[in-house]
Structure 1
Amino acid sequence: MAEQSLKRKRFSFAEKYSMIQDVDKGIKRIFVQEKYGVSHGTLAGFLKDRERIEDNVKSPTKLEARANRQSRYHEVDTALLEWFRNIRSTRTDTVVTGLDLLAKATTLAKKLSENHIEGYDNFSLDLNWIERWKKRHGVSCKQIVGESASADHASAKTWLDTQLDPIRQDYDDKDIFNADETGLFWKMSPEKTLAFKGETCKGGKHAKDRVTVLVATSADGEKLPLYVIGKSKRPHCFRGVLNIPVEYEANKKAWMTGQLFEQWCNRLNNRMVREGRRIALILDNFAGHPHLDLSNISIFFLPPNTTSMTQPMDAGIIKNLKHHYRRLLVKRRISCIDSDQECKITLLDAVQWLKTSWQQVTSDTVKNCYRHVGFQPKTAAAAATPSEDLPPDETEQEDASLWSAVCEAGLAEEGTSFDEFVNIDESVATGATGGLTDIELLADVLDTTDSAEIISSDSEEEDEDTSTVPKYNDVIVSLDTTLKYLRSIPESGDHVDAVEKAKQHCIDNRIEKLLQPRISSFFRKV
């Protein structure tokens, strides 16, 4: 009997991405082929096409699509979507009609034509194109009911009574998340505290030392990895680094945009799909937070002008993160002065410190901040959990000692405090708060132009380490020296173990490379 041929099946981008993830988890390809009913060649093709598949699953409107049909006017298509999201986020009572969309799309296309962008010499846009655009992106032009700009304590109380209580009835605390962005002057020295106090930093010379950090936790203390947005896509200090300590992206302003936030939400949604969880994500009404339809995440928006009363991130979680970060920064400055060395801080140092600082923010701190904005414990056991001061009491004495050393070293201006230094960037902009200009809308769409500007900005704006990767022998000697020093310090056993583990990892990697067969070993000597 002849073997029955398999019926050809077209897979969605979501299904293709699931196959790729299974292979990445270490599942043997033969088992993945059997699970999804694909041939060896088909699976190999999906793996080869990984980058395009991953790009498509970032958009919920393309997740179930089986082919990627790009719009003829792709640049206008993408910029128009960003404009629409910005309007919806900043002016919720505005109705955007098809004619409004057509007028904006035509304006954007004219800008591209004036700049001699290929494909826009004789562009033709009409309402049929707009209708196809709306279907591609799942856009509805109906009015969104929003809160008034004068929201106050009454609006916050209404939110707690009519929104938060139902959310907590439908979701466990472990599945209720809050996320918010904060600006960070990542290498700001203490002596600049007065000069930068209240700085919004929407551009100019200070922008190069600023990043935007997305911070997110659940109500029961689970912390998601930090998402950092810088200004350079490939900073000098990242070259040769395979393991960046945080999730990292970049754009010209180091701002959160609707597109970047959508990508982050899709990665989080994919994780929740894998874990079999459905979560609630609470957000403020910020232009960079678009309305998204996700399979495993339901998004709820806080009333405008109430975040200080309703948002856990603003209740102390972000401040605690920055408190730990600035302690590490101050310690580095004092150490450099003590050893008479130049204090050179790179963006790689900054993201590593951010990760370390995030690890130091405890679950009790997170839970306490949620309680502060109305998340009352559901059980008596949870209510008995002691709350944690921000910053913790046991660190206050060390903070005072550190700041005293900073002042003695001449690193701080008279009349400033460590708390002021911690909060130096609390007013820094993390995204567009008003309407974006046509140039701003198109800047990130034109990949070649944007990348060229971002790459060229590295050498001009970042004073970072561009040295090559150190040699193996030098690394082992340095680790041995570190171990010798650590063993002379009391109560450093855990740190010794960590360095020993790092040293062994370097040795194992070296041996693995030495044991790899060379091409010459496949040929017999004559």
Structure 2
Amino acid sequence: MTAKCSAEVLPAVPKRKKAVMCLMEKIRVLDKLRSGMSCSAVGREFNVNESTIRYIKKKEKEIRRSVREAAPESAKVTSIVREEAMEKMEKRLNLWIHEMTTDKKGVVDSIVVRLKAKEIYGHVTQGQKNVKPFSASAGWLARFKRRYGVKNIKLAGEASSADQEAAQEFKKHLLSVIEEKGYVEEQVFTADETGLFYKDVGKRTYITQMASQAPGFKSFQDYATLLLCANAKGDFKCKPLMVYRAQNPQAVTGKSVNHMPVHWRWNKKAWMTSDWFHNCFIPEVECYLQGRNLAFKVLLILDDAPVHCCEELRNAHPNVEVLFMPPNTTSLIQPLDQGIIKAFKAHYTRELYSKALEALKANKETTMMDYWKSVTIRNVIDYVGTAWDSIKQATINNCWKSVWPDCVENFEGFESVTESIKNSVKNIMHIARQISGEGFDDMKEEDVEEILAEKAVEPTNEDLDEMAKHGTGVSNDEDSDESQTKTSRIVPLTVAKISEWNSALEKIFNDMEECDPMLDRSLKFKHLTSTAFAPYAEMLKDLRQKAKQTRLTQFFEPVWEGKLPVPSTSQESQTPKVELPDVNMPPSSSSAE
């Protein structure tokens, strides 16, 4: 009876809930222990038993290895230490998925992912003994998706209507944000990246067949990544961001990176960098809106690719609101994907072919292969700038119809954009047939379409190893971060060089007026050329003025550098010894010793 009463009186002691700690939390525990805290103190802070802390400490080496090999996404949800080979494989597989979906803007099929997983697993376990078999089952894929938060892999049989629904939901959300915040067409921007094989002349040409035998063809060779950005009004286009695989290629040595038709960045694999937002986008847009007397209030629409550093950009600037589109909706609602990027590539390809035809006509002995080899990244920068400038305001504005219909003025239908691209395709084919031979004379429309299509550069297993080593394929390499600040030596323009150009032009003008029977034609050329040369003429004037001022100021600088005479204590007068200045040395300010 007494025992029964005491049992009723004494409250039951609640059991401590079993805590399941993810690997990242275990790393925090280990860091606390390294700082000098006791196991009991750490246990109280994390609300777990001291025995749990001691077990974590015992497994420190395995835990740190697992977190090091895994991606941060996985370490935040995984609680157990997994095999090293599996961690390496899944990290590389996740990077591969990001690379493929970022460029292709498409859906990676589950069957392809499972096959790729087995291939990567074979690569990371190559040469090892007693390797456990890995079947890449459907169950493993489901767990992988959960660990890495991968949402853009569609399992076989899943309906594609989810993309349509997500696109419609985002469209409603976007319109509500625009209405609530009062954004106007000039203040709403979108950006998207695309790969550019800048020497792509079609699969069927003799050039491609010959070049494909070279190692690295259509890997990261002759490849650059571009980021294009424009507003909904269509009257403003940011300077394209170009990411190249070499920092200072010989073709642009001595050129100022701040005075190019593109924002120049580099890393070894031409992966997109993440500093575009602060160093390129913000300054250009602020200047544009100021020129339109509009408030610096911006809405930027991006896809959810890792290149855009989603978490970093959400609150990166107080005047810029960033919205991220859901996965698998880019092809449906991204304005740049509605024809702008394809139109840009059409203009670029037309420029590439036109320059090739000019080179062949100028020298009959030149072959297309010779021209193809002579194209440098400096030519590419020029062609990219020309192609981007060729995109019309109406084309950009029309492509916003799918996501913000009310902003479109005089909508001519997507057919007008398609028709414009078709005309460019016909133009390219016409130029190609004039080149003739080497696979160009019978070029078909589908050949040109293949050139204009967005294509992903599939990373090799070695590329994935390097991407995993440096964390992610979309940020700079460690050595890239250090080298990014280095710039090649820029040779300044001199009075002598500009004067030489000026004299050469004067000679050309005189010869034309003397030899050309049509005086108005030679005078028109002189006027147009003089107008184009005006910035150099102004620079020449400024340099001469500065040189004249420098010579004048030399008269006011002290040149005597002798010692001041020291008063004599004796009755005799003394003549101080004066050191005459060296006339060959530049003048400097005097100093008393």
1:412 aligns with 2:440: yes
Unaligned 5+ runs, structure 2: 1-63, 89-146, 560-582, 584-593
Q: Any residues of structure 2 matched to 1:259-408 within 5 Å, and which?
A: 260-265=273-278, 267-272=280-285, 275=290, 276-291=295-310, 292=313, 293-294=315-316, 295-340=318-363, 343=371, 344-371=374-401, 373-378=402-407, 382-383=410-411, 388-390=416-418, 392=420, 395=424, 398-406=427-435, 408=436
Corresponding residue number in structure 1 for 2:479: 447
- What do the CA deviations read for 1:394-434 (whole angstroms, capped 9, x no partner)? 6565444212212x253627454485266256213399998
Q: What letter is aligned with 1:247?
A: H
* More displaced 10-residue stretch of structure 1: 149-158 or 280-289: 149-158
Q: 1:355 to 1:404 in 2, by over 3 A?
A: same
- What do the CA deviations read for 1:463-509 (whole angstroms, capped 9, x no partner)? xxx9x999435534665688869x98999999876532222222222
Normalising by structure 1, report the TM-score.
0.59
Does the Cα contact within 8 Å between 1:368 and 1:387 map onto a contact in 2? no
* d(CA) in 1 for partners of 2:362, 2:297: 52
For 2:406, what is the secondary structure of its paired residue? coil
1:176 aligns with 2:184: no
RMSD: 5.0
Q: 1:430 to 1:352 in 2, by over 3 A?
A: farther
Q: 1:397 to 1:278 in 2, by over 3 A?
A: same
Identity of aligned residues (%): 19
Corresponding residue number in structure 2 for 1:463: none
Which protein, 1 or 2, shows the higher relative CO under an 8 Å CA cutoff with sep ≥ 6? Answer: 1
Corresponding residue number in structure 2 for 1:96: 76
- What do the CA deviations read for 1:43-77 (whole angstroms, capped 9, x no partner)? xxxxxxxxxxxxxxxxxxxxxxxxxxxxxxxxxxx
Q: What letter is aligned with 2:393?
A: S
1:226 aligns with 2:240: yes
Corresponding residue number in structure 1 for 2:269: 253
For 2:346, what is the secondary structure of its paired residue? helix
Corresponding residue number in structure 1 for 2:96: none
Structure with bigger gyration radius? 2
Residue 163 (structure 1) aligned to one of 170, 187, 190:
170
* d(CA) in 2 for partners of 1:416, 1:384: 28
Q: 1:447 to 1:509 in 2, by over 3 A?
A: same
Q: What letter is aligned with 2:231?
A: S
Q: 1:425 to 1:387 in 2, by over 3 A?
A: closer
Displacement of 1:329 in angstroms is 0.7
Q: 1:400 to 1:409 in 2, by over 3 A?
A: same
* d(CA) in 2 for partners of 1:255, 1:174: 30
Does the Cα contact within 8 Å between 1:214 and 1:228 map onto a contact in 2? yes
For 1:390, what is the secondary structure of its paired residue? helix
* d(CA) in 1 for partners of 2:150, 2:203: 43
* d(CA) in 1 for partners of 2:172, 2:380: 38
Q: What letter is aligned with 1:173?
A: E
Displacement of 1:272 in angstroms is 4.9
Q: 1:225 to 1:523 in 2, by over 3 A?
A: closer
Q: What letter is aligned with 2:248?
A: R
* d(CA) in 1 for partners of 2:166, 2:527: 49
Unaligned 5+ runs, structure 1: 1-79, 109-142, 457-465
Displacement of 1:95 in angstroms is 6.8
For 1:183, what is the secondary structure of its paired residue? strand
